[in-house]
Amino acid sequence: MNTAAYLRRIGLPHLLGAPATAEGLRLLHTAHVERVAYEALEIWLERPTTVDPAESAERILRGRGGYCFHLNGAFWALATALGYDVTRHVGGVQPRGGEPGVTANHLVLTARGLPSPDNPGGEWLVDLGLGDALHEPLPLVAGTYRQGPFTYALRPSEVAPGGWRLEHDPAGSFQGMDFDPAPAEMSAFAEMHRHLTTSPESGFVRVASVARRDGSGVDLMRGLTLSRIGAGADSVTLDTARDYFAALADVFRLPLDDVGAAEKDKLWRKVHSAHVAWLASQAT
């Protein structure tokens, strides 16, 4: 991985060679979620991906994003290269109305050895792959934390002995997330990645979703509905391909420079068709 190029991609070239600190971790986390979109458009472009962190990092360097296996996987590689002590864990995101569990549908990171005034123990929950959730790392200490429009609760997990549970804000897209304390290899996520990228039951397959977090809220696009939670809250439907691709570029920093004109046309037709079908289902 080209560490210097990755740092330039997220606007932090000066951190190359800098010591690993809690403030450095915060800067890396916030810059990454603000500049690298949460997205799974490769599925809609019919471009298979893997969970290999090197592949994910290369795609990010080309101006794209990814979902949790890609974003947290690549960030693990970046942080490790910069001297941070970061560990991967098997997690499970609980959808609204679902049951909690460590299902391997989520990759979680923790960091240690980074004390700060508000976290003298120096252990942190690091998660860039939850879409509308964390903007900054959270102290790995039970408590309630406010970031922008969202309030999170962190506590020991009831389903993963020795692990932790993050409870999302009621306005968030999911109920919560649990993770196991044991270190994990990327191979632990390969089968779930296959399911999430190919199964008709997968939310990534059913809806073309994109998200980008910032300090005051989150921008979301599901199908052709562009919405904002937090400062500047609003919602609009994108009626044309021009508006759709402009929103990807301007709101989500996804100019799709690696996607040709024919591929963009095919992507638009697929997303538009799915949105029309969704509207019809809502009407009935």
- Could you read off the pLDDT of 51-105 as tens digits, one per residue? 999 999 999 999 999 999 999 999 999 999 999 999 999 999 999 999 999 999 9
Domain count across the chain: 1
Task: Provide the residue range defining the domain that includes 227.
Answer: 205-283
Residue 282: predicted pLDDT? 87
Answer whether residue 23 is part of any domain: no
Answer whether residue 238 is part of any domain: yes
- Could you read off the pLDDT of 176-231 as tens digits, one per residue? 999 999 999 999 999 999 999 999 999 999 999 999 999 999 999 999 999 999 98
pTM, 2 dp: 0.96
Answer whether residue 95 is part of any domain: no
**Within 13 Å of residue 266, how many CA atoms lie on the same side as its CB?**
12
Mean pLDDT for the stretch of residues 129-154: 97
Answer whether residue 93 is part of any domain: no
Answer whether residue 215 is part of any domain: yes
Cα 17 to the center of its chain, rounded Å: 26
Residue 284: predicted pLDDT? 79
Mean pLDDT for the stretch of residues 108-130: 98
Q: Which of 132, 129, 178, 131 is nearest to 153 (CA)?
A: 178
Cβ atoms of residues 14 and 28 within 8 Å = no
The CATH number assigned to the domain holding 237 equals 3.30.2140.10
- Following DSSP, what letter does each residue of 53-100 receive, concatenated? HHHHHHHHHTT--B-HHHHHHHHHHHHHHTT-EEEEEEEEEE-TTS--
Cβ atoms of residues 32 and 75 within 8 Å = yes
Q: DSSP state, 169?
A: P
Answer whether residue 236 is part of any domain: yes
CA 150 – CA 137 distance, rounded (Å): 14
Answer whether residue 152 is part of any domain: no
